[in-house]
Amino acid sequence: MAKFDHDARELLELVGGKDNIAAASHCMTRMRFALKDPSKADVAAIEKLASVKGSFTQAGQFQVIIGNDVADFYDTFVGISGVSEASKQDVKSAALQNTNVLQRAMGAIAEVFAPLIPAIITGGLILGFRNVLGEMPYFGPEGNQTLASLSVFWTGVYNFLWLIGEAVFHAGIPVGICWSITKKMGGTPMLGIVLGLTLVSGQLMNAYAVSGATAADWATHTWNFDFAQVRMIGYQAQVIPAILAAITFNYLERFFKKITPSVIQMIVVPFCSLLLAVMAAHFVLGPIGWTIGSWIGNIVLAGITSPFAWLFGLIFGA
- State the catalytic residues: 27
- Return the number of other C-beta atoms located less than 10 Å from residue 214's C-beta: 7
Q: Residue 194, CB half-sphere, CA atoms under 13 Å: how many?
A: 14
Q: Beta 21-26 vs 30-35: how paired, if at all?
A: antiparallel
Nearest-angstrom CA–CA distance, 12 and 21: 9
Nearest-angstrom CA–CA distance, 257 and 54: 45
SS3 content of the chain, % helix, strand, coil (to 5): 65, 10, 25
Nearest-angstrom CA–CA distance, 312 and 177: 26
Q: Classify 234 as helix, strand or coil.
A: coil
Nearest-angstrom CA–CA distance, 4 and 74: 9
Residue 34 has phi, psi (to 5 degrees) of -105, 105
